[in-house]
Structure 1
């Protein structure tokens, strides 16, 4: 077995040098450095001396690193959409949890693992082992709660708060971490249907836990992403603060001029930017056309038309969503990879419509073109369909963080002790 140096030595070097600069110094290529960083391969001891020398050269002329504006943890992180919104306002991620291997690959490719823990399943992870943090972020899945047995436990004199009412759900893990770490604030994101899930009992329980048991000042609002990207996408955002604040969702600045689909489509007039990490995977720059594989096959197009006709005749509204550059699309779903029916882009010259490419899906969710898509089309469609509209998160963060800083200013006496970040 090859001996390896601690990965945090590479992590330190990556704070000051690019992968290319490190590769040149240790005599490896960039791909190797990327593999070391993503923990697919250990960092060989043979590179340790070069890394230490590189750090020594740098550290003697650098001031102490600036303290971040605030720290946060990223639970049920997906591909980091909520994280991007809070990093934009000076936050630093101290801990990440995401169980899906494909999402982890995309996340690590874009954010790396330097400077903080990255774990898979949060369920078995002890709350006390999570670093102290200022803000907890979580896009937790929607699950029903069962209160069966609560009265029996009560009659036996056993505690039955959120430990009983939410046990076995992923919200329980959010609640136990908030309870243990007492962050200054949290943001939870979910589908709009959370409000009506299980006849409203799920949301009622969530609010009761957050407000009555954990004693946080809680606010919520359904926000439509179409204010920022050309997609009708309603999601509920729940924020809470450790103490009462003057926070209000009325402070959100939601642009009234909604963007149209043409703003995120590949440009066929020769102005589509060439992205090194995409190459011609989605768009053929030589012919200035979207790759033909995204055009529906004759068989699939015939099936979708027949399916729509059948339901139209029955008086139902089911069918495909045909869009043009002037459209605002339906909600992009995680099942988009199956047939793309909710968003089909009309094409000229009588051609069959096409799916959005994964790069266009990234833009539809508000991710910049610098965001790397390292997984297959199928997985990338799932990931973007499950993600958040990044500018929505950034705008919510904008109105949250001043209140967070106010709370942190009250607790700089040590009540919010920070633990060292560990890799």
Structure 2
């Protein structure tokens, strides 16, 4: 008899994603795979978690603080490595509730606004963790960087805390990918940390969960630092941490088509099924794709650029301001017009059947980003966003964001399209299976969209600590 990976995860108290990884690695004897699902012998024993035991034995007894803590991504990673959280700071009330729900021992040490914290009221600690606010650097913001008077200066609050704690040995910072786009931002970070006697990463480290076989594209910048006097001088020789020093290559793993399904739950509430109108529009565009006979659509489809019912190309182009368009947009307009002319009979009937001209704008746009790798719409990852309905290969999900734009998948059991559940998005962020959430689903999605990926931080933390002299956390290296 066999049980599913989901059932094994509950039986052993680990995540379903971890069970899947153990199956792939051959750690569970006599497993079998049918389609994308693994089945485990009912009498199989849980494999020993050698990763956890080795790490904790090596890095036990260090203390860390968790600034701009969110719901505790850094906390999970550092605790896994053997750390004790001395103090955390978070300003969002909903995040504070979730943090306290999961880390009850830190409740009295969880403070609010970082600006109101006197560095001298924090006890001695070894590691400073901070996912400092990304708005000054994000594409979604004004990108004022350190010139943002409200949020850009929060980096300097981190520096104030370091100035009050010369005993700090390591720094682990995280921010959005855009932080690395302006050399001015990176130069400020480099200069300030080097003033404080740290070797830091020579260049911004840009990593995504997908680099490690986790099915999510989410590029973030990581900044690591080690106090100069505790470094292993045989490895770090010229003032910087080089990417090769971290030995990340051994952790890299490429995502494959179908990996997106590895984070899914088996039994999901019907409330996650998408509205009937959305499902109809997904099927309508799938019918369009098949009806036009185009196996690969290599450009975005814009219904309003077809010129439905208009014979004269010039009228269509002039009505859309063709002469003032950038070159890329002119190209797509011409391709859409040609697609309509070549399939006019089918498209006219299709438009009328679904009353497409009266739909909202986002239903009038479609992208097929699967190439020839996928033929069935049920095998795609779907997004419904302001830029339209997008079908993607099931290799990895797009980046989780703080706004609600949850990916959609086909649930074979329910025979409907549905949104990812909060637990599934937590799997994409590598949150452990026992992590608890409170509040509405909207709150949970937002918190996870703002969070950090726990597995990446585990890997980076371990790699960073390995660059120190032996015995750095037994009290011998205190300064």
Length-normalised TM-score, structure 2: 0.57
Partner of 2:4: none
Distance change in 2, residues 1:86/1:301 (3 Å): same
**Deviation for aligned residue 1:309:** 4.5
Distance change in 2, residues 1:140/1:76 (3 Å): same
Equivalent in 131, 134, 140 of residue 132 of structure 2: 140
Equivalent in 450, 456, 459 of residue 392 of structure 1: 456
Distance change in 2, residues 1:347/1:74 (3 Å): same
Q: Distance in 2 between matches of 1:346 and 1:401?
A: 42
**Deviation for aligned residue 1:207:** 1.9
**Deviation for aligned residue 1:344:** 1.4
Equivalent in 60, 77, 84 of residue 85 of structure 1: 77
Q: Distance in 2 between matches of 1:115 and 1:208?
A: 35
Alignment of 1:5-16 (within 5 A): none
**Deviation for aligned residue 1:382:** 0.5
Contact kept? 2:175, 2:220, Cα under 8 Å? yes
Provide the secondary structure at the position in 1 that maps to 2:186: helix
Aligned residue pairs, count: 304
Contact kept? 1:321, 1:344, Cα under 8 Å? no
Equivalent in 421, 439, 442 of residue 378 of structure 1: 442
Alpha-carbon deviations, 1:347-381, whole Å to 9, x = none?
44995522100011111111122111122101100
Alpha-carbon deviations, 1:53-112, whole Å to 9, x = none?
xxxxxxxxxxxxxx9521110001111111211111111110100111111111111111
Correspondence 1:249 to 2:243: yes
Provide the secondary structure at the position in 1 that maps to 2:302: helix
- Higher alpha-carbon deviation: 219-228 or 246-255: 246-255
Alpha-carbon deviations, 1:35-63, whole Å to 9, x = none?
xxxxxxxxxxxxxxxxxxxxxxxxxxxxx
Alignment of 1:337-356 (within 5 A): 339-340=405-406, 343-348=407-412, 352-356=416-420
Alpha-carbon deviations, 1:148-189, whole Å to 9, x = none?
9xxxxxxxxxxxxxxxx9996211111111122121110001
Partner of 1:265: 264
Equivalent in 198, 202, 225 of residue 216 of structure 1: 198
Contact kept? 1:77, 1:96, Cα under 8 Å? yes
Q: Distance in 2 between matches of 1:323 and 1:303?
A: 16
Contact kept? 2:130, 2:174, Cα under 8 Å? yes
CA-based RMSD of the aligned residues comes to 3.2
Partner of 1:100: 92
Alpha-carbon deviations, 1:5-62, whole Å to 9, x = none?
xxxxxxxxxxxxxxxxxxxxxxxxxxxxxxxxxxxxxxxxxxxxxxxxxxxxxxxxxx
Correspondence 1:408 to 2:466: no
Q: Distance in 1 between matches of 2:431 and 2:109?
A: 24
**Deviation for aligned residue 1:194:** 0.9
Correspondence 1:187 to 2:172: yes
Q: Distance in 2 between matches of 1:146 and 1:333?
A: 23
Q: Distance in 2 between matches of 1:167 and 1:129?
A: 23
**Deviation for aligned residue 1:299:** 3.6
Contact kept? 2:62, 2:473, Cα under 8 Å? no
Equivalent in 186, 199, 224 of residue 203 of structure 1: 186
Alignment of 1:272-421 (within 5 A): 289-301=267-279, 309-310=301-302, 315=332, 318-322=387-391, 326-336=394-404, 339-340=405-406, 343-348=407-412, 352-404=416-468, 406=470, 408=472, 412=476, 415=479
Unaligned runs of 5+ in 1: 1-66, 149-164, 268-288, 416-423
Q: Distance in 2 between matches of 1:407 and 1:413?
A: 7
Provide the secondary structure at the position in 1 that maps to 2:427: helix
Length-normalised TM-score, structure 1: 0.64
Larger Rg: 2
Provide the secondary structure at the position in 2 that maps to 1:258: coil
Unaligned runs of 5+ in 2: 1-58, 137-143, 236-240, 286-299, 306-328, 333-364, 368-386
**Deviation for aligned residue 1:293:** 1.6
Contact kept? 2:60, 2:81, Cα under 8 Å? no
Provide the secondary structure at the position in 1 that maps to 2:435: coil
Distance change in 2, residues 1:358/1:323 (3 Å): farther
Distance change in 2, residues 1:392/1:204 (3 Å): same
Correspondence 1:229 to 2:221: no
Q: Distance in 2 between matches of 1:240 and 1:312?
A: 52
